[in-house]
Amino acid sequence: MKKDFLWGGATAANQCEGAFLEGHKGLSIMDVMTNGSKIHERLITDGIKEEYYYPNHDGNKFYEHYQEDIALMAEMGFKCYRMSIAWTRIFPNGDEEKPNEEGLKFYDKVFAELRKYHIQPIVTLSHYEMPLYLVNEYGSWRNRKVIDFFIKYAYTVMERYKNDVSYWITFNEINAIEFMPYFPAGLIIKEDENRDQVIYQAAHHMLVASAKVVQLAHQINPQNKVGCMALFGVNYPRTCHPNDVLKAELANQDFLGIPDVQILGYYSDYQLKQYEKKNICLIMEKEDEDILRNGTVDFCSFSYYMSMVQGEKREGENHVKGNMVAGLENPYLPTNEWGWQIDPVGLRITLNYLYQKYRIPLFIVENGLGAQDQLTDDGHIHDNYRIDYLKAHLIEMKKAIEEDGIPLIGYTMWGCIDLVSAGSGEMTKRYGLVYVDKDDLGKGTYQRYRKYSFYWYQKVIETNGDILDKED
Ligand code: BG6
C-alpha cells in the first residue's frame, strides 16, 4: 500500500449536521423528508408539519459536535474526511446574489479543525442536498437556470476554501437519479409527466454543471482534483446462459451511462440508443458538447455496498432489497439486516471493472455495514460483525491494488460517526465506528462512544492496512 493512501471516513451534511435552520440556513430537500423504516415510506411533505418527525433536522448534531467528532477522527488516524457542504447554508434559497456569510464561517471552522490534525477534506458539493426553494420555484434540475445557481455556489466555496480543499466531488451518486430522482436531483415527477424525459433532461443539466465546475476548479487551483461519484456494484449473470450474461453486462452499462459522460466527456453510443428507444429527446445547447468534453473528471469515486444479480426471473424467485435498487437473490451471499447482499469479492471485481473501463484513478468513497448496535450499560459497543465486514472488504481492496494493479486513491468508510440513514431516516441503521446516543425519533443524549471497530480501524490505519485482524 502506498504511503499516501487516503484512509478515512465519510458523511453527508444533511445526515449529520442537524441545526437545520441555524445560521440562516435555508430548507433543503431533505428537511421535508419524514422518517420511515423503508425508503418508500419516507414522505416528502409540503412544508414542515407538526405531526411528523424529520430526522435530518438534528442529524447527529455534528454542527455542535464538530470539534469533538474531528478529534475522534484524528484519534483513529484519519488521513482524510469525506464530507459535504450544505448548499443551503451558503445560498439558503439557491438564487441569492450573495452567499450567506454565517454558513461560510461554519465551514471555515470545520476546515480549520481538520487542518489542525492534518486531515485532508474530500468535499462533495451536493450530497442529496439542494435548496427546496429551487425545487418549488424553478422545478429543480429540470430547469437549465439551476446550472448557473450551482456554479455560483461551487465557485463561492471552491474559491473560499482553495487553501483547504483540493479534492472535490460534484454530485453524490449522480446515477441514483434513475432510481430515486428526488435524492440527487430534487425531482418530484408528476403523473402526467414523461418520467424518463424529465430524469434524463435533468441529468443532462447536472452533467453540464459538473463539467463546468471541473473546469472552474482547475482554474482556481491547478492542483485541484475533481471526481464524479457513482452508485455502483458489479452486476453478475445469474447463470452462464448467454442471455443472463448479456443482461448483466447491459445492466452495468445502464448503471454507468451517466457517470460515463463525466469521465469520457460524451454520451456513449449505448446510452444514446437507450434514449432513442425511450423516445427521450435531450434538449442540448450548441456549446454543451464542448463543455462536456472539456470538463472530464480527474478520478472516479463510487459507493460500494453490494453486487447485483441479473437474469430471467424464475417463478417464485425473490428480489432482494438493496441500496436504492433491487436485483435477484444471490444464493452464495449473506445479507445484512436490511437485506443488502454482502459481497467483499464483488468489490475487487468492481474495482477491476471500473478501471478497465475508465483507466483513471479510483476512489472508494463509501462502503460499510448498517447494523443495529447495542450500547452496553458500561458504555461499550461490541460490533465485531462490523469489523468482519470491513476487514473482508479491505482484504479484497488490497488484492485489487497489490495483485491487480488498480490505482486507488483511498478508502472512506461510510458513516464513520453514526448518522441518519438516507434511505429510511432511521438512526438504528448504524454504520459508525463511533456510536451516537440518539434513537429513531430523535431522543437521546447525542453523546459519542467509541465502538470496538474504532480501535480496530485505528490499528488498520496505523499499519497502513498491514494489520487487518482484530485483537482479542
Ligand atoms: C449511499 C448514500 O447511497 O448509501 C448515503 O450516498 C447513504 O447518503 C448510504 O447513507 C447508505 O444508505 P442508507 O440508506 O443505509 O443510509
Over the stretch 69-115, which tens digit does the pLDDT of each residue have? 999 999 999 999 999 999 999 999 999 999 999 999 999 999 999 99
The residue to mutate among 39, 338, 389, 414, having the most atoms of ligand 1 within 8 angstroms of its beta carbon, is 414
For residues 336-369, b (16+ Cβ closer than 10 Å) or e, as one string? bebebbbbbbbbbbbbbbbbeebebbbbbbbbbb
Kindly state the average pLDDT of the residues 363-383.
Answer: 97
Q: Which residues of 19-41 are buried (b: 16+ CB within 10 A; e: fewer)?
A: bbeeeebbbbbbbbbbbbeebee
pLDDT digits (tens, 9 = 90+) for 254-310: 999 999 999 999 999 999 999 999 999 999 999 999 999 999 999 999 999 999 999
Residues with CB under 6 A from ligand 1: 12, 15, 128, 172-173, 231, 303, 323, 366, 370, 414, 421-423, 429
For a pocket test of ligand 1, which of 84, 173, 366, 428 has the largest count of ligand atoms closer than 8 A to its C-beta? 366
> Is 317 a residue whose pLDDT tops 80?
no
> Which residues are within 8 A (CB) of 250 and not within 5 positions of it... i.e. 6 or more apart?
none
* pLDDT at position 129: 92
Residues involved in catalysis: 173, 366
The string of pLDDT tens digits covering residues 141-182 is: 999 999 999 999 999 999 999 999 999 999 999 999 999 999
**Which DSSP category does 142 fall into?**
G
Per-residue pLDDT of 186-240, as tens digits, reads: 999 999 999 999 999 999 999 999 999 999 999 999 999 999 999 999 999 999 9
- pLDDT given at position 316: 73
pLDDT of res. 228: 98
SS3 category, 337: coil
Please say if the pLDDT value at position 472 is more than 70.
Answer: no
Question: CA 298 to CA 267: how far, in whole Å?
Answer: 18
> How much is the average pLDDT of 342-349?
98
The CATH fold assigned to 6-470 is: TIM Barrel (3.20.20)
User: Does the pLDDT of residue 334 top 80, yes or no?
Assistant: yes
* Cβ atoms of 42 and 33 closer than 8 Å: yes
Task: For residues 199 and 271, give the distance between their C-alpha atoms in angstroms, rounded to a whole number.
Answer: 14
Structural domain boundaries of the chain? 6-470
pLDDT at residue 274, as a whole number: 98
Average pLDDT, the chain: 96
Taking the CA atoms of residue 154, residue 159, residue 163 and residue 169 in that order, the dihedral angle to the nearest 10 degrees is 10
Please give the pLDDT value at position 398. Answer: 98
* 324 pLDDT higher than 90: no
- Whether the pLDDT of residue 313 is over 80: the answer is no
Percent of the chain beyond pLDDT 70?
98
CB atoms within 10 A of CB 377: 5
Q: Is residue 364 over pLDDT 70?
A: yes
Q: Whose CA is nearest to atom 8 of ligand 1?
A: 422
